[in-house]
Amino acid sequence: MGEKKSYEAIICKNKKAHLNYQIEETYEAGIVLTGSEVKSCRQGQANLKDGYARVKNGEVFLYDVHISPYSHAGYSQHEPLRVRKLLFHKQEIKRLLGKTKEQGYTLVPLKMYFRNGKVKVEIGLARGKKLYDRREEIRKRDLKREAAQELKARRS
């Protein structure tokens, strides 16, 4: 029969997350937003840079994610840095609660996107990297880039 195609448009990504954290698992969650927040997201006015998630009272909340106020909204504007609820299944919340109780694990938003008209957030279960791990990763990336440049120079 006819298979449903899922449409996905990325709003924003957290580029620093993979540099600062070792991502163990990823989860997709819905997010509770107001109308002006959704319209602002459609304009790409969101930022995940300093964001994190926490499990509190059996629910998951997203903190420090900035969604700019919608320019054409009337008298009722949303707070840009308000705490937003994430929509997970109960089993996922229990699993996340158990993992985040362990030493060193945190929940980091990786990207925000539209899927079939709904705003979704990809959350990563992450462990913080040490400074020397980050330096090693940067060194490897630089070596790879230099090797690619050398190979390109030899071909031409």
Instruction: State pLDDT tens for residues 96-112.
Output: 888 888 777 889 999 99
Q: Residue 3 has what pLDDT?
A: 63
More confident residue, 4 or 86: 86
The pLDDT score that the predictor gives to residue 22 is 85
Residue 11 to residue 78: CA distance in whole angstroms: 18
Residue 108's pLDDT is 92
Structural element, H or E, at residue 132: helix 131-155
Alpha-carbon distance 51 to 66, whole Å?
Answer: 8
The distance of Cα 25 from the centroid of its chain, to the nearest Å, equals: 12
Domain 9-129: assigned CATH number: 2.40.280.10
Q: What does pTM read for this prediction?
A: 0.75
Q: Compute the distance between CA of residue 24 and CA of residue 15 in angstroms, rounded to an integer.
A: 16
pLDDT interval class at 137 (50, 70, 90): confident
In 32-87, alpha helices (H)? 35-42
Measure the CA–CA gap between 91 and 82, rounded to whole angstroms. Answer: 26
Q: How confident is the model at residue 150 (pLDDT cuts 50, 70, 90)?
A: confident
Evaluate if residue 72 carries a pLDDT over 80.
Answer: no
